[in-house]
Structure 1
Amino acid sequence: MDATQDKRLFLIDAYAMIFRGYYALIRNPRLTSTGLDTSAIFGFTNSLIELIRREKPTHLAVVFDVGRASVRTDDFADYKANRSETPEAIKIAVPYIHRILEGMHIPILGVEGYEADDVIGTIACKAEKEGYTTFMVTPDKDFAQLVTDKIKIYKPGLKGGDIEILGVEEVKAKYEIEDPKQVIDYLAMMGDAVDNIPGLEGVGEKTAMKFLKEFGSIENLLANTDKLKGKLKEKVEASAERGILSKKLATIICDAPIEFHQEQYDLETPDFEKVKEVFEEIEFRRLYENLYRAFAPAVTETVVVSEVEVKQTPTGTEIKGQAMQLDLFANFEELDQATSTKSSIEHNDHLYQFVDNPKAQKKLVDNLLKQRAVCFDTETTSLNELEAELVGMSFSYKKGLAYYIPLSESREEVLQTLEIFRPFFEKEDLLKIAHNLKFDYKILKQYDITVKGAMFDTMIAHYLLNPDGRHGMDYLSEVFLNYKPVSIETIIGKKGKKQGTFRDADLRTQTDYAAEDADVTFQLYELFAPQLKKENLEDLFFNIEMPLMEVLAKMELAGISLDEKWLAQESIDLENDLRNLEKTIFELSEEEFNMNSPKQLGEILFEKMQLDPKAKKTKTGQYATSEDVLQKLASKHEIIKHILEYRTYQKLKSTYVDALPSQIDKLDNRVHTNFSQTTAATGRLASVNPNLQNIPIRTLRGQQIRGAFVSGEGKKIISADYSQIELRLIAEISGEDNMIKAFQDGEDIHASTAAKLFKIPLEEVSKTQRSQAKTVNFGIIYGQGAFALAEQTGLSRTEAKQMIEAYFETYPKLKEYMAEQVNKARQMGYVETILGRKRHLKDINSNNFVVRGHAERNAVNAPVQGSAADVVKLAMIKIDRELEEQQMKTKMLLQVHDELVFEAPADEIEAASKLIKTEMENALKTQVPLLVEIGVGNNWLEAH
């Protein structure tokens, strides 16, 4: 667009752009640290700022719908009646957007009873008479009817795509019409489902275009229906009155009661402080910089650093010179001021340099040691830390400035280089920053470098601030820095056999990629560190999560031994059992079929055997045969029991027995899982590659798999398991006296609960009664209602309801606590664990009772489950420190929620067991005793 044109008015269709921004981020919404969904605000504001920066409008206004569009609903009561409820995030967004627009001195328009379309149409037509070129900023096709030589549609690009400007010729070509005004007839003929405009019956997009070519207008069409044939003729004639009404509804009004005073629309300089206040409130950090630049006068500033010239110009940034070795430790304040965050490395001021000789590297280390905080990153040949080779390291301690250290293929030479950097990694009072620090920690550990002192993992920091979000560096960079980092796949290729390694890249490419990673991560640190403090999460971060990261790194490197011979035999046994079960199932069904085909199984069960006349089908038209469905049919026929058993054995074989041997590392013949601190929103750890937390324990056959996890020669496996930790903690948190006393007296809590529920002596509680009480005890934590309890216990819904009522009479403070948690969540938007971990619940005030109910259950459960996770993490940190201080050889190997698994030399079994039990039971000072059960064996099954 020619920026030299005078009198260019941009009219923004507010809600169209707000909805567009909201849905663009619907899969990965932007949430503040308090859980506020700012997707719509960000999308709209970012588009607005980009429009101002790009187009430099002379005049601008934003137009909102105000109240009901009575001018149309008076004619047609069902106008827009089928529109769904506006998402709550958008309702919340509008007041913020109004504040931002007010701060930017941009007029907000709207006329009661008229739609934004009418206001835009009226202003555009009046502005045209005053000589303005008007751009209607909207994706709405209805506006095409207004297009003239001086009025155009401006459609912002989707997902970074190009903008589209529709003038007269573009509209004529798009709709195959002679005049843009015919768009009204086009809409009248085909109708509009979005606005509930009925249109002519039987007329769609193609037919409407055909009619316009032949008849030119809806009136002319209706006057010549004799030229139509068959059913279409009947339908058009029958809906003629509806068609004329549709034209009236589709016509944008150009004489709404609003004046066009030119000076009102002048684009003025914003009140930056006022806008900044709103941006800080909703945690828009980089957007403020973009706003400032959009209005900043054109400047040219050149900063020379060493031999690299960085030039800031009105049209972008020029960087001259090459990455160099260095004399780099002059004053970089000017570089800081010259830098600007743009879209990618090509458009972002930066100074990235490689340092490849020992003398310069020592000089770099001397400079790093003077800093308070430094970000580092490692580049390797693989993501498997046990086999990966170091290719390079990068460092950054200031935005836009980073150094890359390329490393030799020779391990001996790498070790020599690392010795130069050892003082940096081991300096206790220097904060080391990284993203996914555990990976870098483990890589360096393989080269005999232990990272010491305070550490800051930006991935974990963001997880604490927003547990439900995504935490990848590239994603965080795009969201928080408005910057798209170089993708690793552009360097080494896409995943697959042909994918290369980082070592294959040239030095320039390596430098740019690695230095960028360190630079971006340092910038994320600068954003997240103060936010952790603001949210009172520093203690949790520095005293729990970061020390735990080191513990987990050690556990992952240690691994655990597998008995491959046992697994091979178990695979044979399971295969035999599967064949026998298959034979039995075929006999019972009197037909052979593919057991792994849900379609064939469904036909056998519900068509041939008629086990459920009301059997449900999936979206694909097949019968549903999930485990839940089959469990409900278990009493109908014995075949169901065998099918469920078949599926259980098949999963055991494929997922564990046959798969685990392939996970054994060739270097030490042990399995090395990875523990994630940033997966479960509750604070629990997750285990991947392989997932060792999901080893089945419900069935005897599933439990047997733990027998494959064995101790090394001369060692034993120790299993330490918290007993009913969640129940103990909910008693502690709620202050429920009856439950606290039962635990303090060492009673069986389920039997004790049953005795109170059924009002009988403790010794008279039956197994069934204890089982029912156990279901209620754990069900209450997860917000279980009468329906779910009835299904699990076999009670009627009335009996289940009565049991829940009796439960709360027995434990009244528990009921009070649950209500308090829900109320707190409604007021604060989050709940907290015993150590201050926050779980944001953005749906707690939702109008949708199903969505709200889920959030309410989380309000009760998250603090309990999260507190249990906190206690286990505390215990792990304390045990690790004690084992190290006492110089014991016992190693922590696994964490499976409430259980910790160790490997200990025979001569340490007694001492290690005592140490583990003591530290776990005293991890946190509570009035409810935390009980830990210890087991010892040659394998995990024996120990457990």
Structure 2
Amino acid sequence: MQKKLFLLDAMALIYRAYYGLIRSPRITSAGKNTSAQFGFTTTLIDIINKEKPTHLAVCFDTHAPTERHTDFTDYKANRQEAPEDLLQSLPDIKRIIEAFNIPVVELDGYEADDIIGTVAWQAADAGYEVYMVTPDKDYGQLLIHDHVYIYKPPFMGNKEEILDAKKICEKWDIQRVEQVIDILGLMGDAVDNIPGIKGVGEKTAAKLLKEYDTLENVLANADNITGALGEKIRAGKEDAIMSKKLATIITKVPVEFHEENYRLKDWNKPVLTEVFVELEFKTLGKRVLGDSFNAFHAAPEAQQTDLFGAVVDTKKSDISRKTESTVAAQSSLFGDDTSTGLVAEKNINNTDHDYQLVQTDEEIANLVSYLSEQAEICFDTETTHIDANEAELVGLSFSCRPGEGFYVPCPADRAATMAILQKFKDLFASPTMKWIGQNIKYDLLVLKWYGFEIAGELFDTMLAHYVIEPEGRRSMDLLSAQYLQYEPVHIDELIGKKGKNQGTMREVEVEKAKDYAAEDADITLQLKNIFVPLLKEKAVERVFSEAENPLVKVLTDMEFEGVKVDVGFLNDYSVELEREAKIFENNVYEQAGVRFNLASPKQLGEVLFEKLKLDPKAKKTKTGQYATGEDVLSKLAHQHKIVDDILGFRQLTKLKSTYVDALPLMINSKTGRVHTSYAQAVAVTGRLSSNNPNLQNIPIRSDRGKEIRKAFVPRDSNHILVSADYSQIELRIVAAISGDPNMCEAFRQGKDIHTATAAKVYGIPESEVTKEQRYKAKSVNFGIIYGQGAFGLADNLGIARSEAKEIIDNYKKEFTGITKYMDDIVNFCKDKGYVETILGRKRWLKDIYSSNFTVRGYAERNAVNSPIQGTAADMIKLAMIKIHHEMKSQKLQSRMILQVHDELVFDAVKEEVDILKPLILNCMKAALPLPNEVPVEAEVGIGDNWLVAH
């Protein structure tokens, strides 16, 4: 058997893991960022499982200076401070490595690449295949030794890549891997602050080495190199020599490869369990340690009597988990560490509890009587499906006091279940009863399909936690772990099934179901009691009580109603899109002069950049393929018509597969309509998101994309669609909260804000503003609040950076209030640790204090933007609540059916349109008055489909 040694460049992999998840970091229930720990550990496990190394080590840098720092004091001087969260991850990562019984190799005075280079060559001499695990390009120089390779782990959707000497030479366009240090000496390395020769880039360096072979020969022939290049080489001679030395990996570090020290050994499972529990690596813990992995220790059992006098056992009990909108689990860049949908998870309740089974008519009557005397009830349903629109009731659970729970099983026979629900009808209809639940929208929707509605006030623990910790995860298992110390276990363990072959609650014996379901209600009640003071402490009671909680019933009704989809139109449109896509495809082949797989980025890149040579500086991805994303192709569109045809083909095929062909498959067989699911507790800004289908992503900027809206139609000939949309709401909010006099006045006078902005920026009357100038002003208006600078504006508009800078400078001069707001809100955040909306929705940004300017800059941009986006989110939520209330009060038969960004869509009875239109507009305008007398405007339209109505 071939012995295989893997040597991991620890810090390179840790940085990669941290920054790979920076936009969606992994945060524990205690608020700890574990992105680096999770990404590194997942990479380590994948290597062990997939590559089957016989030997392995992890190499670290130390803080001690190296010979390179002595030779060149500015070596790595331009590197940012490492993010605090990343530095705090290092002790955890080393504990994990040591628990795997893998050696950590580090030595003062040397960098990890020196250690890896030395050990790699020693092991290769001893007959090993050696894989250096790193994304660092400098390691290519080490491949001079046979049987030494670079291993790039999977990342950002790309597969792992193994580089040998031949691939390194192809990548750098050199003849020998020894020339890697020559090319780095010539061109330098900005990451490590290695200067190289000023003005010499990668392609020039490669060209010089083709002619002169080594850096030393290039310098020796500098007098023979004419023009500006020769001058640069002669002036940069000393820098080049120093740069080559700095870039050379030392392969004689005083470390020795002793194969027994590097051999993979049994893991220290108790320590791994301890660390994984602390870091909340639930699924990863199961994957690595098996079913024995548990988050908490078992609690003792006890005995109690129930409400009806029977003796019950208090024992380990099981807990139902509903995740937000029952959406599928999110997968990280490195793997999946979350649960999916409606999950059953086991908990250990280390307090006395009394869970009772309620089955007979007499027991149900006693329970109803008892519940009727309470001020609030915690409520939960057990069902057969994660989609509430498809679910059947299996049981109801209730709790009114901590440690108490009642479970009412429901038979498979629908009529029998209806009879049970009928006994609770008056309780459900009580306007004075308060109902508590975790993601209670799911339970309300299940009841609604049975014809029952809850009339009283709601308290959703998931939404309470959402406003308390917007960035946190909030599944029931995590909340119970954080606040109540419960151990989660999946439903397949309760039922005895594994993997995808999961059962349902129908298969659980009633006694087990009782504990499972009753504790769900019990835990939710206990969480509510914890969250109430936290809402006050965090000062987020208003946004919770005025926006989030009341919206639950609105969304329940919207999801229940659904929207009709014109299948005939979609089928015809699918044929049309396929025909048009084929025209684009044939145009591409004709212009390319060759047929190839247009859907293959690799083949497309070769055609564009090797055959047609559209860009001699074309960039490649981490896998070595040419980058052919939309951003790359859009910049080449002016060079060749083939690019427009490629983009046209991509747009049409995506529309066809993602929407046109997919929507008919989502139609509910019971209603004939599509029922999207709205998620309240996902976007940190407060925005709603939707799935199945995702309405937020239906394209509206292209003519072909807009056509999809034609498929959304009224339910019958007596109805018509009404669409209402806020007008430039985010810019109005910017004006209002910044108080900028010019922008506020433009809105007060009802001016076109982009024309008014252009007039100010270009110093001309509004009547002279051109269409192009208005477009540029519009880009600045929206871009500047997202932190866009001159580079981004230039890229967006296709203009010179100098022109973009001038536009932004003029903008800031004319709209000083905007600039002041941006500075003030960042300073506010640094002082308070959070920013907030007009309604009081908060977003905590701990990275605002980071010494790493990339991390801090991201937090500063969020500080500027979150109050704007969040206020817009609050406004439309309040508008939806007001409209819903008014429509019910006036007993209108029209229904609100869709919400997309700042737009609401209604399936309106034609006779009610004249009543509905002013009702909608008045509620939207009055939902959340803006400061500085900035008016809120909305527009309303009607039509036989969504496109026409909009």
Q: Same fold (TM over 0.5)?
A: yes
Match of 1:742 in 2: 746
Instruction: Encode CA deviations 1:676-734: one digit per residue, 9 max, x unaligned.
Output: 11121111111101112222111111111111111122111111111100011111111
Paired with 2:705 and 2:251, the residues of 1 have a C-alpha distance of: 70
Q: Matches of 1:939 and 1:495 in 2, distance apart?
A: 46
SS at match of 2:904: strand
Name the residue aligned to 1:579. 582
Structure 1 position 856, deviation (Å): 1.2
TM norm structure 2? 0.69
Q: Distance in 2 between matches of 1:39 and 1:399?
A: 32
2:254 matched residue in structure 1: 243
For the pair 1:88 / 2:84, whether they are aligned, the reply is: yes
My pick for the range that moved more, 908-917 or 422-431, is: 422-431
Partner amino acid for 1:596? A
Does residue 367 of the first structure (1) align with residue 370 of the second (2)? yes
Shift of 1:488: 2.4
Determine the structure 1 residue equivalent to 2:122. 203
The corresponding residue for 1:942 is: 948
* CA spacing shift, 1:557–1:869, aligned 2, 3 Å: same
Counterparts of 1:507 and 1:789, CA distance in 2: 63
1:557 matches 2:560 = yes
The aligned residue for residue 861 of structure 2 is 857
Cα distance in 2, alignment partners of residues 429 and 192 from structure 1: 69
Cα distance in 1, alignment partners of residues 352 and 70 from structure 2: 57
Aligned with residue 837 of structure 2, among 833, 840, 844: 833
Distance 1:654 1:309, change over 3 A: closer
Q: In structure 1, what is the equivalent of residue 284 of structure 2?
A: none
Q: How many angstroms apart in 2 are the aligned matches of 1:540 and 1:240?
A: 61
**Aligned equivalent of 2:678:** 675
SS at match of 1:716: strand
- Map residues 266-285 of structure 1 onto 2, 5 A cutoff: none
Partner of 2:806: 802
1:943–1:421 distance in 2 versus 1, CA, 3 Å: same
Match of 2:537 in 1: 534
Q: Provide the rounded CA distance (Å) in 1 between the counterparts of 2:911 and 2:647.
A: 45
SS at match of 2:406: strand
- Cα 1:349–1:795 shift into 2, 3 Å: same
3-state SS of the aligned residue for 2:767? helix
| CA distance in 1: counterparts of 2:614 and 2:113, whole angstroms | 44
Map of 2:790 onto structure 1: 786
Deviation at 1:370, TM superposition (A): 3.2
SS at match of 1:687: strand
Please point out which of 930, 934, 937 is paired with 2:936.
930
The answer to whether the aligner puts 1:713 opposite 2:709 as a matched pair is no
- Alignment equivalent of 2:624, drawn from 613, 621, 624: 621
1:238-258, Cα deviation, whole Å (9 max, x unpaired) = x999639999xx9xxxxxxxx
Q: 2:486 aligned to 483, 487, 497, which one?
A: 483
Do the aligned partners of residues 352 and 864 (structure 1) sit closer, same or farther apart at CA in structure 2, a change above 3 Å counting?
A: same
Residues in 2 aligned to 1:794 and 1:86: alpha-carbon distance in whole angstroms: 34
Secondary structure, in 3 states, of the residue corresponding to 2:394? strand
Please tell me the residue identity of whatever aligns with 2:945. Answer: N
Flag the 1:929–1:493 CA change in 2: closer, same or farther, 3 A. farther
Residue in 2 aligned with 1:102? none
Contact between 1:391 and 1:502, CA under 8 Å: does it hold in 2?
yes
| 2-structure distance, mates of 1:318, 1:908 | 56
Q: Using the alignment, how far apart are the partners of 2:756 and 2:502 within structure 1?
A: 61
**How far did 1:935 drift?**
0.7
| Native 8 Å contact 1:31 1:466 kept in 2 | no
1:428 and 2:424 correspond: no
Contact in 1 for aligned 2:114/2:253 (Cα 8 Å): no
Q: What's the CA shift string for 1:857-893, capped at 9, x where partnerless?
A: 1111111111111111111111111111111111101
Structure 1 residue identity aligned to 2:84: E
Corresponding residue for 1:815? 819
Indicate the residue corresponding to 1:287 in structure 2.
none
Residue 409 of structure 1: how far off its partner (Å): 2.1
- Counterpart mapping for 1:519-530 below 5 A: 519-530=522-533
For residue 778 of structure 2, the aligned residue among 764, 774, 793 is 774
User: What is the alpha-carbon distance in structure 1 between the residues aligned to residue 510 and residue 453 of structure 2?
Assistant: 27
Asked whether the 8 Å contact 1:187–1:199 carries over to 2, the reply is: no
Specify the code of the residue in structure 2 equivalent to 1:516.
E
CA distance in 2, matches of 1:309, 1:657: 55
In the alignment, which of 897, 900, 924 is matched to residue 896 of structure 1? Answer: 900
Q: Tell me how far apart the structure 1 counterparts of residues 830 and 106 of structure 2 sit (CA, whole Å).
A: 44
1:699-710 maps to which residues of 2 (within 5 A)?
699-710=702-713
**2:393 matched to which residue of 1?**
390
Paired residue secondary structure (1:613): coil
Q: CA deviation at 1:850?
A: 2.0
Secondary structure in 1 matching 2:898? strand
Q: Provide the C-alpha distance between the structure 2 equivalents of 1:533 and 1:726, rounded to a whole number of angstroms.
A: 28
Structure 1 partner of 2:407: 404
CA distance in 2, matches of 1:430, 1:346: 27
Compared with structure 1, are the counterparts of its residues 387 and 304 closer, same or farther at alpha carbon in structure 2 (3 Å cutoff)? Answer: closer
Find the residue that maps to 2:557 and give its secondary structure: helix
Residues 485-525 of structure 1 show CA distances to partners (whole Å, capped at 9, x for unaligned) of 34223346779985443212221232222123222222222
Larger radius of gyration: 1
Secondary structure class of the residue paired with 2:847? coil
Instruction: Supply the AA of the counterpart residue of 1:828.
Output: K
For residues 565 and 776 of structure 1, the distance between their equivalents in structure 2, rounded to whole angstroms, comes to 42
User: How far off is 1:347 after superposition?
Assistant: 7.5
Structure 1 residues 242 and 832 mapped into 2: Cα distance closer, same or farther (>3 Å)?
A: closer
Query: 2: distance between equivalents of 1:359 and 1:761?
Result: 81
Mark the CA change 1:436 to 1:195 in structure 2 (over 3 Å): closer, same or farther: farther
Residue identity in the other structure for 2:305: V
1:596 maps onto 2:599 in alignment: yes
CA separation of 1:647 and 1:348: change in aligned 2, threshold 3 A: farther
Q: CA deviation at 1:356?
A: 0.6
Q: CA deviation at 1:411?
A: 2.2
Deviation at 1:600, TM superposition (A): 0.9
Which one of the candidate residues 647, 650, 653 is aligned to 1:647?
Answer: 650
Is it true that 1:883 corresponds to 2:887 in the alignment? yes
Which whole-Å CA distance do the structure 1 matches of 2:486 and 2:124 have between them?
41
CA distance change for structure 1 residues 623 and 246 in 2, over 3 Å: closer, same or farther?
A: closer
CA–CA separation in structure 2 for the residues paired with 1:310 and 1:547: 38
CA-based RMSD of the aligned residues comes to: 4.3
* SS at 2:848 equivalent: coil
Q: 3-state SS of the aligned residue for 1:747? A: coil
What percent identity do the matched residue pairs reach? 46
CA deviations over 1:639-683 (Å, ceiling 9, x no partner): 000100111111111111111111111112111111111121111
Residue identity matched to 1:911: I
Q: Quick check: 1:381–1:502 contact (8 Å CA) kept in 2?
A: yes
Question: Alpha-carbon deviation of 1:575?
Answer: 1.0
Work out the CA distance in 2 between the residues paired with 1:818 and 1:843. 17
Relative distance call for 1:77 and 1:376 in structure 2 (3 A) is: farther
Paired with 2:477 and 2:355, the residues of 1 have a C-alpha distance of 18
Judge conservation of contact 1:560–1:670 (CA < 8 Å) in 2: yes
- Say which is worse superposed, 928-937 or 348-357, in terms of deviation: 348-357
- The alignment covers a number of residue pairs equal to 718
Which residue matches 2:474? 471
| 1:151-208 deviation line (CA, Å, top 9, x unaligned) | xxxx6xx8xxxxx9xxxxxxxxx99xxxxxxx9xx9999x994997997784359969
Helix, strand or coil for the counterpart of 1:398?
coil
Three-state SS of the structure 2 residue aligned to 1:675 is strand
SS of corresponding position for 1:843? helix
Q: Which 5+ residue runs of structure 1 have no aligned equivalent?
A: 1-18, 44-67, 98-136, 142-154, 159-163, 165-173, 176-182, 210-229, 233-238, 251-298, 312-316, 320-341
Using the TM superposition, give the Cα deviation of residue 929 of structure 1 relative to its aligned residue in structure 2, in angstroms. 1.2
Tell me the residue number matched to 2:765.
761
- Structure 1: distance between partners of 2:619 and 2:793: 23
Contact 1:37 1:842 in 2 (8 A): no
**Structure 1 pair 475–649 and aligned structure 2 pair: CA distance change class (3 A):** same
Structure 2 Cα separation of the partners of residues 38 and 651 of structure 1: 36
